[in-house]
A and B are shown apart, each in its own frame.
Chain A
Amino acid sequence: MGIKIKKKKRGVEALKSRYGRLFVLPWEIGLILFFVMPIINSIRYAFSDVRIVSGGVDTKFVGFKWFDYIINQDPDYLNRLKDAVGVFLVQLPIILALSLILAIVLNQKFKGRIVMRAIYFLPVIIATGVIIDYLSKSGMIIGATSGETAGTYGNMINFDKILENLGLPDELNELIAGYISGIFNLLWNCGIQIILFISGLQSIPDSLYEVAKVEGCSKWEEFWYITFPMLGQNILLVMVYTMIDLITTRKYIMSMAFELMSGQQVYDKSSAMLWLYFLIIGVFMAIILAVYNKLCLKRWS
């Protein structure tokens, strides 16, 4: 008897949950049609021979054939994978740190803050992959991150000349030039991150800082004991966003698979390429998120 009563919700509650379902019903349909089904299909393609026939595609299960081919016979793939993982692991912390620093500076109160912020949010608008590509092609920025050797920083600032005049060894010159152009690319990837961090900084109550001031904390302590822990969830979101941004840039494996797919209409091999890439990057992502969760979020909450 008791169970029966428990099962039946009170009228208003039942009505509310019914309305809740009504609100999300179209989204559920969308999830099935444009998310779950495509994922299942895409995994299926990776494990089969896909032939394009009239009225769709014809699939035949072949097991790990494509994965085997990619790993053992395609030297280009593994090299690109290595590059992609390397860039991912290097750029993620730098972007996070850089955008946090910029967000903190831009969040301080000073004259001309609005103008400065307007400038710093510009990359959000301009920084599309295509335009950055063209800028580097036209010689303005050097694609140090894409593995090319450093060239000139456009014809406007000739960093090479300056560096040559310093009389440093060539390897060091190249390294420094690489870093300079790298900073450019990284800064341009920071737009959204700065916005997300600023909105997080704004939600930290001022009273905490006032208490810290009364207790005689230094700015450094304020940062480590107030700002950083209070941004916990925010950093998580920025981290996830940056990760996705980094793995979807049209370079390395993404461009390779995309060309196979739209150029040659090879669907099986490219699916396998994408999933292997996502799996390996996903392992790194999971490790980073788990470590962050254990070391930071758990301790702060």
Chain B
Amino acid sequence: MTLFNKEISPIKAKQKATSIIVSILRWAFLLLVGYIIIYPLIYMLSVSFRHVYDFEDQTVVWISKHYTFDNMSIAWKALQYPIGLLNTLKTEIVSGLIEVVSCSVFAYGLARFDFKEKKLLMFFLILTILIPTNMIMIPLMLNMRYFDCLGILKLIGNIIGTDIRPNLLNTPWAFYLPSILGVGLKAGLFIFIFVQFYKGMPKELEEAASIDGAGPIKTFLSIVVPSSGVAFLTVTIFSVIWHWNDSYLCEMYFTNSDILAVNLSKIYNKVSAFGLDQYANSSSGAVMAACLLFILPMLIMYCILQKNFIKSIDRVGIVG
């Protein structure tokens, strides 16, 4: 028995050796690349709490010799943090959540029903993904400034004699309205993800529900929505993160409200108002602190949801 074992062991040993080598190589690769990815986060943390003295000190690399909360407090004030956070939640995050709901509904219509214009609508869906919002930003902004529905309001205004077209700039409606209508930030991609997911779902459940007398709307609410939690989670996380990070549209639509992303994109000017030279090394402490404050809520959300998120990515099958 022992002899037999000895005979077979070289092959096993070889297998074991290769598997060890593979896993060592894998870890080396992953750690190296992972280091590059996580590096900016460590850098932000390190610089945010660094005292002015240490910026000129060549010996300070990772760990500062003097710690300070000055950078943080400047960044806090420059970002208008509490108000900015509240405004961002009220406009960006709410519209991000609205977008998830509306996109899921429209995607269901595209995935499960047949009607004449469907091909055309699918074509437009691809177009909305392909043509970036940046291309049409000017008319979009003008559209928000003088909001109108195919010239109807202008016509009425001409008859009455006063301009009744509302100005949606600087109001959250500039974000809500496109989100409700499913044409907000990256909505095309979200609808696409939902369509692919619904198409991959077995039809039998829905058919059974409709035989039992449930209408399409009830079927959607009580069968489809509860069984597509994975898709909802993925899209919600993407939507919230992209809305949070978006500064293009924010800068266009909000010229005088405190939105975190807008304040962050003007942070160099804002920081210099606190007596920091924006070209000096030391101002990067406050700037990095602002970046850290900006990503902090998303980081917390990510930490809470990441396990579910990673699992959902395994199962959502975005391309079907």
Smallest CB gap from A274: residue in B:
B135
Question: B276-320: which residues lie under 8 A (CB-CB) from chain A?
Answer: 281, 284, 287-288, 291, 294-295, 298-299, 302, 306-307, 309-310, 313-320
Partner of B136, one of A21, A38, A141: A38
Q: Find chain A residues with CB under 8 A from B149 CB.
A: 33
- B113 interface residue per 8 A CB criterion: yes
- A19 interface residue per 8 A CB criterion: yes
- A119 interface residue per 8 A CB criterion: yes
Q: Is the CB of A26 within 8 A of B132?
A: no
- A28 interface residue per 8 A CB criterion: yes
Q: Find chain B residues with CB under 8 A from A200 CB.
A: 317-319
Partner of B115, one of A17, A35, A39, A41: A17
Known: A34-B181, A203-B319. A116 touches B30 (CB 8 A): yes
Q: Is the CB of B291 within 8 A of A131?
A: yes
- The count of A-to-B residue pairs whose CB atoms sit within 8 angstroms is 246
Q: Is the CB of A123 within 8 A of B139?
A: no
Q: Find chain A residues with CB under 8 A from B252 CB.
A: 262
Q: Find chain B residues with CB under 8 A from A154 CB.
A: 43
- B222 interface residue per 8 A CB criterion: no
Q: Is the CB of B284 within 8 A of A105?
A: no
- A130 interface residue per 8 A CB criterion: yes
Smallest CB gap from A241: residue in B:
B189
Q: Find chain A residues with CB under 8 A from B106 CB.
A: 23-24, 26-27
Q: What's the least CB distance linking A13 to chain B, in Å? A: 8
Q: Find chain A residues with CB under 8 A from B114 CB.
A: 13, 16-17, 20
Q: Is the CB of B124 within 8 A of A31?
A: yes
Question: B125-142: which residues lie under 8 A (CB-CB) from chain A?
Answer: 127-132, 134-140, 142
Binding site of A, secondary structure by majority: helix, strand, loop or mixed?
helix
Partner of A37, one of B29, B139, B189, B291: B139
Alpha-carbon gap, A138 to B216, bound state (A): 55
How would residues 1 to 40 of chain A score, 1 for a CB under 8 Å from any chain B CB and 0 otherwise? 0000000000001001111111110111111111101110
Q: What's the least CB distance linking B272 to chain A, in Å? A: 14
Q: Which residues of B contact A (CB under 8 A)?
A: 23, 26, 29-30, 33-34, 36-41, 43, 47, 58, 61-62, 102, 105-106, 108-110, 112-118, 121, 124, 127-132, 134-140, 142-143, 146, 149-150, 163, 177-178, 180-183, 189, 191, 215-217, 220, 238, 241, 245, 247-248, 251-252, 261, 264-265, 267, 281, 284, 287-288, 291, 294-295, 298-299, 302, 306-307, 309-310, 313-320
In the assembled complex, 8 residue pairs joining A and B whose CB atoms fall closer than 8 Å, in A order, are A17-B114, A18-B115, A28-B121, A39-B136, A41-B139, A118-B302, A258-B248, A261-B138
Q: Which 4 interchain pairs have the tightest Cβ spacing?
A: A20-B113, A30-B181, A23-B109, A138-B284
Other 16 A-B pairs with CB < 8 A, given A35-B127, A116-B34? A19-B109, A19-B216, A26-B106, A30-B182, A33-B150, A105-B30, A118-B302, A122-B302, A123-B37, A125-B299, A130-B265, A134-B267, A137-B284, A188-B37, A196-B318, A200-B319
